Amino acid sequence: MGLIHCRFMQDLAGKHIVLGLTGGIACYKSAELCRLLVKAGATVQVVMTEAAAQFMTPVTMQALSGRPVYQSQWDVREPNNMPHINLSREADAIVLAPASADFIARLVQGRSDELLSLLCLARPAERVPLLIAPAMNREMWVHPATQRNLRQVDADGARVLGVGSGWQACGETGDGRMLEPQQLLEEIVAQFQPKTLAGQRVVVTAGPTFEALDPIRGITNHSSGKMGFAIARAAREAGADVTLVAGPVHLPTPRGVVRIDVQSAQQMLQASLQAAQSASIFIATAAVADWRPASQSEHKIKKDGSGQVPVLHFVENPDILLALAQGERARSGKLFCVGFAAESENLVAHARAKRERKGIPLLVGNIGPLTFGQDDNSLLLVDAKGERELPRAPKLALARELVTEIAARLPAGSA
């Protein structure tokens, strides 16, 4: 598991990130963000404004980044006295976290009388993206001037990452909190992923379904949803608009993904049909129950002391993938359907048969007991040309490979 965890944490290997801190209490989150970036394989150069140093010491950021912190445009460590040029040219991306309302206004105005705003202005915009993580009081966030400035920095080529909502240091509650470090890491990693699904709308189903027997009990399976959630994240990283239809799992929603929570197979079917009306790709990763109880007891089914086991009757659940694959959008070539097969034996034979039975262009097979609940997996890709195995790897790495495979199989002009 150590090697797997390490592989997960190297998404930014070889990348050099300039992390800019401006004045705000959210600077405490920047310390954790810096740590996560380094663990992900990046080198991090911290640049702080004078105001930022009131909330977080340069010593802390130097210890976490392993590099001296820059604060002044007159830094004598630079032989040419041009840190704004040198730092911006070395960067693969500049991340402002936190970005205060004042600093965002400075960017809009093109002001450059201190190092951080100066290097933002001097960056080669065509190859060094500027990612902005705002942080401010809720009233400052909704103020027309702030919203106007955010629209302008976006129009000028920066990428505004949005804000969170919740309790603020001032004691108020609302929008304006800086995103959490893990969310920001996801955004930064996504920035560097190839946009192979740009313009696509993707629907992914994930996790198990739960078929109720009574208000207490039900039938489900061991699916954790991790593979489906990884695919949703990978598709979003690749530039797609993603809707995730999730069964009952306890996983955080991937950043930027729209999530619809369901319980039963019938609920998953309805949510999938609705979401797929405007989709171009449907990926059926969920482990859907084949059967459900013919009726659900209104109250808990109790033992009566007789030793007799209740007789349960079942009916077959709808085939979600088949319903989508035989729908008008798929038949007209507007919806590319991908199925998953979780088997316990004879994977190749069962996967081939399932692909033919569903009439889909691509089916992904795996051995369920070897993957349920795990952070890694191995996949078998089955299409009309044959089979190809993706060796065991972290699920997110496999999800990115699968997204690349799907993109390569899409009909020309499908975006």
Question: What are the tens digits of pLDDT across the range 84-135?
Answer: 888 999 999 999 999 999 999 999 999 988 999 999 999 999 999 999 999 9
Residue matched to tokens 């189903």:
205
Q: What pLDDT, on a 0 to 100 scale, did the predictor assign at position 369?
A: 58
Burial code of 81-97, b = ≥16 C-beta within 10 A, e = fewer? Answer: ebbbebbbeebbbbbbb
At 375 the pLDDT is 83
Mean pLDDT in residue range 72-79: 86
User: Would you state the pLDDT for residue 4?
Assistant: 37
Higher pLDDT, 152 or 343: 152
Which residues are within 8 A (CB) of 296 and not within 5 positions of it... i.e. 6 or more apart?
Answer: 212, 213, 214
Sequence letter at residue 405: E
Q: What SS3 state is found at 367?
A: strand
Is the peptide bond prior to 98 cis by the omega test (within 30 degrees of 0)? yes
Higher-scoring residue by pLDDT: 405, 341: 405
Domains of the chain: 13-191 (3.40.50.1950), 201-292+312-409 (3.40.50.10300)
Amino acid identity, residue 386? Answer: G
Give the residue numbers marked as catalytic. Answer: 170
Residue 332 reports pLDDT greater than 80: yes
Residue 399 DSSP SS3: helix
pLDDT of residue 1: 34
Q: What pLDDT score does 3 carry?
A: 39
For β-strands 281-284 and 218-219, DSSP reports them as unpaired
Reading the block at residue 147, the tokens are 């919203």
Question: What is the chain's mean pLDDT, rounded?
Answer: 91
Distance (Å, rounded) from C-alpha 192 to C-alpha 363?
28
Task: Give residue for tokens 């309790």.
Answer: 167
Contact status, residue 191 vs residue 237, Cβ threshold 8 Å = no
- DSSP per-residue letters across 253-299: PPTT-EEEE--SHHHHHHHHHHHGGG-SEEEE--B--SEEESS--SS
Number of Cβ within a 10 Å radius of residue 102: 14
In contact, 213 and 293? CB cutoff 8 Å: yes
| 370 pLDDT tier (thresholds 50, 70, 90) | low
Indicate yes or no: pTM above 0.75.
Answer: yes
Is the C-alpha dihedral spanning 172, 178, 180, 181 positive or negative?
negative
DSSP string covering 165-218, please? Answer: EEE-TTS-EEEEEPPPHHHHHHHHHHHTS--TTTT-EEEEEESB--EESSSS-E
- pLDDT over 90 at 147, yes or no: yes
Q: How confident is the model at residue 371 (pLDDT cuts 50, 70, 90)?
A: low
Span 374-391, pLDDT tens digits: 788 888 899 989 888 899
**Lowest mean pLDDT across 40-44, 75-79, 276-280, 291-295:** 75-79
End-to-end Cα spacing for the chain: 38
* pLDDT value of position 302: 86
Distance CA 192, CA 371 (A): 28
pLDDT surpassing 50 at residue 5? no
Q: Is 294 exposed, middle or buried (0-12, 13-18, 19+ CB in 10 A)?
A: exposed
- How far from chain centre, in Å, is Cα 394? 15
pLDDT in tens, 168-215: 888 888 899 999 999 999 999 999 999 999 999 999 999 999 999 999
- Token pair in block for residue 2: 């150590």
Q: How far apart are CA 283 and CA 236, in angstroms?
A: 13
**Distance, CA of 250 to CA of 145 (rounded, Å):** 39
Under 8 Å between Cβ of 38 and 64: yes
To which H or E segment does residue 80 belong? none
What is the tens place of the pLDDT at every residue in 212-271? 999 999 999 888 999 999 999 999 999 999 999 999 999 999 999 999 999 999 999 999
